[in-house]
Amino acid sequence: MTDHLMNCMALETGEKFKPDTGYSSGGATGLVQWTGSAIDGMNKNNKYNYGKILTKKALANMTILQQLEYVKLYFKMWIDSGKVINDSLDMYMCIWCPAAVGKEDSFICYSEKNSSKNYNANKSIDGEYYREKYINAKGKTVYNTVGKSDGNGEITKGELRPRLKVKQVSGINYKEINFTCNTSQTPINAKDVITFHIYADGKIEKHIPKNIKEEYKKKYKYTYHDKDGKEHNICIVDFIIAQNWIVGSKINGGKGWEKRVAGGKTRYYQKGNGEVELVKVKVPLNYNQKGVNIKIGDNTDREYINPKAFASMLGAVAECGYNDFNFNGSTSSDGTGAPSVTHVNGVSFDFRYLRKDRTGNNLHIDTEPNSLDILREEKFIDALIKFGYSKFYSYNIKVNGKPFILKNSTHLADHNHHLHIRREGYNPKYKEIKE
In a domain, 138, yes or no: yes
Q: Could you tell me how far CA 187 lies from the centroid of its own chain?
A: 29
> Based on the domain organization, do 249 and 367 belong to the same domain?
yes
> Based on the domain organization, do 117 and 28 belong to the same domain?
yes
- Residue 52's domain spans which residues? 2-178
Q: How many CA atoms lie within 13 A of 281 on its CB side?
A: 35
Provide, rounded to the nearest whole percent, the portion of the chain with pLDDT above 70.
88
In a domain, 196, yes or no: yes
> Based on the domain organization, do 305 and 345 belong to the same domain?
yes
More confident residue, 139 or 409: 409
The overall average pLDDT reported for the chain is 86
**pLDDT tens per residue across span 104-161:** 888 998 888 876 788 887 777 776 544 444 444 455 554 444 444 455 788 888 888 8
Average pLDDT over residues 386-412: 96
Secondary element (H or E) of residue 311: helix 307-320
Spell out the residues 6+ positions from residue 243 whose beta carbon is closer than 8 angstroms to its own.
Answer: 271, 272, 275, 276, 334, 335
Q: Could you tell me how far CA 278 lies from the centroid of its own chain?
A: 17
In a domain, 230, yes or no: yes
> Based on the domain organization, do 287 and 412 belong to the same domain?
yes
Q: The pTM is what?
A: 0.60
The reported pLDDT for the residue numbered 348 is: 96
> Based on the domain organization, do 59 and 195 belong to the same domain?
no
The reported pLDDT for the residue numbered 4 is: 83
The reported pLDDT for the residue numbered 149 is: 47
Instruction: Please tell me the total count of domains within the chain.
Output: 2
Domain boundary among 178, 204, 221: 178
The reported pLDDT for the residue numbered 140 is: 57
* Cα gap 40→55, rounded to integer Å: 9
Spell out the residues 6+ positions from residue 200 whose beta carbon is closer than 8 angstroms to its own.
Answer: 224, 225, 226, 227, 315, 318, 319
> Based on the domain organization, do 40 and 129 belong to the same domain?
yes
> Based on the domain organization, do 229 and 369 belong to the same domain?
yes
In a domain, 185, yes or no: no
> Based on the domain organization, do 306 and 382 belong to the same domain?
yes
> Based on the domain organization, do 172 and 305 belong to the same domain?
no
> Based on the domain organization, do 173 and 269 belong to the same domain?
no
In a domain, 183, yes or no: no
Range of weakest confidence among 157-171, 195-209, 286-300: 157-171
Q: Report whether pLDDT(272) > 80.
A: yes
Kindly report the number of other CB atoms within 10 A of residue 271's CB atom. Answer: 13
Average pLDDT over residues 374-402: 96
The reported pLDDT for the residue numbered 185 is: 39
> Based on the domain organization, do 218 and 320 belong to the same domain?
yes
- pLDDT confidence tier of residue 282, bands split at 50, 70 and 90: confident
> Based on the domain organization, do 130 and 200 belong to the same domain?
no
Domain boundary among 143, 178, 213: 178
Kindly report the number of other CB atoms within 10 A of residue 388's CB atom. Answer: 22
CATH number of the domain bearing residue 32: 1.10.530
Domain boundary among 110, 143, 178: 178
**pLDDT tens per residue across span 196-217:** 999 999 999 999 998 999 989 9
* Cα gap 149→325, rounded to integer Å: 21
